[in-house]
Structure 1
């Protein structure tokens, strides 16, 4: 389910963050943050690519087509709302998340709807006529996160060990 992915090795990352602050090295802390962000970027890109490649198929009935009544592309709008944040304070780590505030009001729940695999919506805004579409592949968020989390975790651990070595 779209939400957020957080990589936190709480004990070791907190200790490392305290040591970074005590060392007084803003350069070292910026370097640490930059490397953590870089570790999360492949998952960020993969999530954006996953939502861009989700196909929505109709219910199988013959439907008259036509241009979309809106000018905004759905998948690109959703891909633009996938965000990264890095924290080095009390809860250090990286987080990849879906920022609902970057979505138009009528699309705020769409990432979760597409994740479920079933999209039900009014036909061209007509609330008396509804269509159901299926998203293939369903689970675009969870499947991508499951595939990318081990690599991201290993990279963050490698960065943590490198920074710890620099501090010693």
Structure 2
């Protein structure tokens, strides 16, 4: 599973970045960055919704289970870690990624990839001597959602690029 999706460094965006610097308009640069961020927001929201709706049934006996002892739901925590960044410097573009620094220490970086593949193995109620498997239908919550949303994001960034290029001429 790719850890992020990026749209950056195309020749046209680099040319546009140079023209923005030459024009010296900080308001124009800020406006462009804001519009590129808005182009990435639907993909971020789709990813957050996708992880919140992944079903992770327990593998234990029926009637067991209950609320998380950490009071921190896994899917909501992962959804909160999906981030956007926009760059307008030497390598302009937008990036949507899972920010591992926003995850608690007990959730490793590979958890999202394993959920994407359909299997999650974890200690039972924090007991590292006893492990449980949770199986999900391989939902592709990340890979499929990114694949579906990338073209829309690219099209919107191209539209922003063309609008700004028109303004600069």
**Is this a same-fold pair by TM over 0.5?**
yes
**Which residue number corresponds to residue 4 of structure 2?**
4
Give the TM-score taking structure 2 as reference length. Answer: 0.93
Q: 1:79 to 1:2 in 2, by over 3 A?
A: farther
Ranges in structure 2 where 5+ consecutive residues have no aligned partner: none
**Once superposed, what is the RMSD of the aligned Cα atoms?**
1.5
Is contact 2:58–2:134 with CA below 8 Å preserved after alignment?
yes
Deviates more, 1:68-77 or 1:120-129: 120-129
- Alpha-carbon contact 2:58-2:135 (below 8 Å) kept: yes
Structure 1 residue 60 displacement after superposition:
6.7
* Aligned residue pair count: 168
TM-score by length of 1: 0.93
Q: Which residue number corresponds to residue 125 of structure 2?
A: 124
Q: Is the 8 A contact 2:115 2:138 kept in 1?
A: no
What pairs with 1:13-32 in structure 2 (closer than 5 Å)? 13-32=13-32
- Can you list the C-alpha shifts for 1:108-159, whole angstroms capped at 9, x where unaligned? 3221221221011122223333221112453210000000001000000011
Matched, 1:159 2:156: no
The runs of 5 or more residues in structure 1 that have no matched partner are none
Which residue number corresponds to residue 36 of structure 1?
36
Distance 1:35 1:112 in 2: 30
Confirm or deny: 8 A CA contact 1:33 1:88 kept in the other structure.
yes
Deviates more, 1:110-119 or 1:15-24: 110-119
Equivalent position of 1:68 in the other structure: 68
